Each structure stands twice: as structure tokens, then as C-alpha cells.
Amino acid sequence: MNDKEKDLEMQCGCEHEHPEVVREVRAAMPDENVTADLSDFFKVFGDSSRMRILFALDRRELCVCDLSAALGMTKSAVSHQLRFLRANHLVASRRSGKNIFYSLADEHVRDIIEIAVEHLSEED
């Protein structure tokens, strides 16, 4: 056991918690709004339907009916999810006649997914 580990144990071997450590971590914690915004953002990626929509749009701009046909979802379900994606600034839309075409709005999407793929490929 090295010094760092010994130090940590001293700080939690007592009562219910060690005030010093707790205070330090508390002070360093970002504002509750920040963590809430972050988790809300990741919630968008935390659904397989939305993930599949993002992959499809990564391929090419698509209208809702093609999107729903490609993914085997109803237009309504797709539309509900697109609304969610739009609210989070991940897709952009443009109307052209009867159709509304959606596309990826943010280059961060690819980066984030890439890191996730890396992580998943390492955990076996």
C-alpha cells in the first residue's frame, strides 16, 4: 500500500464520512445546472431509435418518410424523435415542397460516437 492509498483510507476509516475529503470534492463539483445539461445532452444518444436516425442522417440528408421506411419506424415515431434531436441542436431541417429534409447539424456527433465505438471495442 503506497502513501496515497494510506492517505485515502485515513480519511474514511472514521465515522460516517471524512469531512475534509467531502468538502474538497464538493467544492470542486461543477454547478448542478452543468451536470444536468450534460446528462440531458447524453440522453439524446441513449436511445437506439435516435442513434439509428443519427447514423442514417450521417449517411445523407433524408426526408421523414424515407427515414421512417429505412428504419422501419412510423413517421410519427420518427417525427417525435426528430423533434427531440432538433431541440438539442443535433439535426437541421429544411422544407422543400411537401418534404422536410433533415441532416446532421453538428460535427461533434461523429466525434462522440467515434470515442464510444473505441470504448466498446476495448471492453472485452
Buried b / exposed e over 59-82, threshold 16 CB at 10 Å, is: eeebbbebbbeebebeeeebeebb
Q: Which stretch binds DNA (CB under 7 A): 23-31, 57-65, 110-118?
A: 57-65
Residues 30-69 close enough to bind a copy of itself by CB under 8 A: 30, 32, 35-48, 50-52, 55-56, 59-63, 65-66, 68-69
Among 3, 28, 73, 102, binds a copy of itself (CB under 8 A): 28
77 touching a copy of itself, by CB under 8 A: no
Cα dist. 50→1, 2, 72 in Å? 46, 46, 13
What is the number of other CB atoms lying within 10 angstroms of the CB of residue 91?
22
Q: Applying CB under 7 A, which part among 10-18, 23-31, 111-119 lies near DNA?
A: 10-18
